[in-house]
Amino acid sequence: MDGTGLAISLAKAGFVAFLLLNAVPLLVWLERRGAAFIQDRIGPNRTSIAGFALAGLVQPLADVVKFMFKEDFVPPSANRTFYLLAPIITLIPALMTFAVVPFADVVRIGERLVQMQVADLNVGILYVFAIASLGVYGVVLAGWASNNKYSFLGSVRASAQMISYELSMGLSVLGLVMVFGTLQLDDMVRAQGARLFGVLPLWGIVLQPLGFLLFVISVFAETNRLPFDLAESEAELVVGYHTEYSSMKFATFFMAEYIAMTTGAALIVSLFLGGWQVPFVSSETLNGWTADLLGPGAGSWLAALIQFGSFSAKLGFFLWLFIWVRWTLPRFRYDQLMRLGWKVMLPLALANLLVTAAVLLVIDGAAGR
């Protein structure tokens, strides 16, 4: 890799990290204000800079300052090494997963075609699952190292839950992998630019409606969001695995939760809703228009910007869905959670896989391959 390539890679990584870290305060704001309006309250609207509260958007800033200056307490009975390691182990995988998510079509810089994706791995989806399942270690370590019964119970629940739902998560995507015949997310998004009968965008949700539903439910479970927040269960376990954490260590868990949410939503969008594809306008058409307008170089940038906007809009909808569901549904009981995971989701995912395989076989047979 030459110098320019390295610089471009660093710029992309920096952009994605910036995006993810800045999504957190916005999401916290959206969560708090959204929850307030849903519950007939007003929510934070007091904190202001020079009289500008920006509808409460300044509140996260004040929260950050508060987190920084709070006492950073390590319980004397905790296992210090693992206690300090746990928040980092939770945050890093949450940040890493986003690396394979493409957020726009290729952009032309001089002679170079740059992919708008941090890492175009040929094992894309496998990488996602491998890294996402690392997140459970942070939760387990946090609960175990805190030496607190609530933390411990929370982490035990979380690990059982995450392992159970990872199965149906993986199986629900396998159908899609079979349809598109690739593990690369960028290729999948590109394949979703096709149309059915020239009208309906051939997104993953059209090809695999059941897979979509199962995947969305699994993502809710994987990110420990309500109705699957048994790891936290504030009503019964204080806040579960991060009960003993204070100050910026707690904030790290908090950030990890919201970043995992963003990554989960980005995966849903990329796999099932066409990723950066603008509905009804194919990437070639869009690039043609913008190239006519600004020339091929700047045109590809404008097209990428429009596609990034499309991606962000879909992402935003799913992030809102996470919040919306949280303030609508109550938490599952533990046995209900396990029953849903093993006796409903898993058989459905397997059935979906089987039917998809059979249909593909018939289509391929008809095509004489």
Residue 119 binds another protein (CB under 8 A): no
Alpha helices in 181-279 (DSSP H): 185-191, 204-207, 209-222, 247-272
Would you count residue 325 as binding another protein (CB under 8 A)? yes
Q: Does 362 bind another protein (CB under 8 A)?
A: no
> At closest approach, how far in Å is the CB of 172 from another protein?
16
| Choices 234-242, 254-262, 274-282, 319-327; region in contact with another protein by CB under 8 A | 319-327
**Which of 39, 77 has the CB closer to another protein?**
39
* Residue 55 in contact with another protein, rule: CB under 8 A: no
- The residue (of 45 and 312) whose beta carbon lies closer to another protein is 45
Bridge partner residues of 201 (DSSP): 195
Enumerate the H helices of the chain as residue ranges: 3-38, 59-69, 80-96, 124-132, 135-146, 149-180, 185-191, 204-207, 209-222, 247-272, 283-294, 296-326, 334-339, 346-366
Min dist CB 235 to another protein, Å, is 19
- Residue 201 belongs to what H/E stretch? strand 200-201
Q: Given the complex with another protein, which of 38 and 350 has the nearer CB atom?
A: 38
Instruction: Please tell me whether residue 38 binds another protein under the rule CB under 8 A.
Output: yes
Q: For residues 313 and 88, what is the distance between their CA atoms, to the nearest angstrom?
A: 30
> What does the buried/exposed string (b/e) look like for 348-360 if buried means 16 or more CB atoms within 10 Å of the residue's CB?
bbeebbeebeeee
Residue 177 or 217 with smaller CB distance to another protein: 217
Question: At closest approach, how far in Å is the CB of 32 from another protein?
Answer: 13
> 254: Cβ–Cβ under 8 A, 6 or more apart, which residues?
24, 28
77 is an interface residue for another protein by CB under 8 A: no
* Binding of another protein by 324 (CB under 8 A): yes
- Is residue 149 part of the contact set for another protein (CB under 8 A)? no
Which residues does 293 contact at the CB level (< 8 Å), separation at least 6?
Answer: 299, 302
Give the DSSP per-residue string, 56-96: GTTHHHHHHHHHHHS-----TTS-HHHHHHHHHHHHHHHHH
Nearer to another protein, 76 or 330 (CB): 330
Q: Is 329 in the site for another protein (CB under 8 A)?
A: yes
Indicate which single residue of 1, 2, 39, 52 sits in contact with another protein (rule: CB under 8 A): 39
Contacts of 201 by beta carbon, 8 Å cutoff, 6+ apart: 192, 193, 194, 195, 274, 277, 279, 280
| Exposed / middle / buried, residue 121 (Cβ in 10 Å: 0-12, 13-18, 19+) | middle
Number of residues in contact with another protein under rule CB under 8 A: 13
Q: Which of 83/272 has CB closer to another protein? A: 272
CB atoms inside a 10 Å sphere around CB 107? 20
Burial class of 335 by CB neighbour count within 10 A (0 to 12, 13 to 18, 19+): exposed
Examine residue 333 and tell whether it contacts another protein (CB under 8 A): no
Asked if 328 touches another protein (CB under 8 A), the answer is: yes
Q: Which stretch binds another protein (CB under 8 A): 36-44, 82-90, 105-113, 247-255?
A: 36-44
Residue whose CB is less far from another protein, 40 or 71 = 40
**Nearest-approach distance from CB 119 to another protein, in angstroms:** 36
The single residue listed with the structure tokens 């471009």 is: 8
Which window, 11-19, 68-76, 119-127, 326-334, contacts another protein (CB under 8 A)?
A: 326-334
The minimum distance between CB 213 and another protein, in angstroms, equals 8
Q: Binding of another protein at residue 210 (CB under 8 A)? A: no
Positions that interact with another protein (CB under 8 A): 34, 36-42, 324-325, 327-329
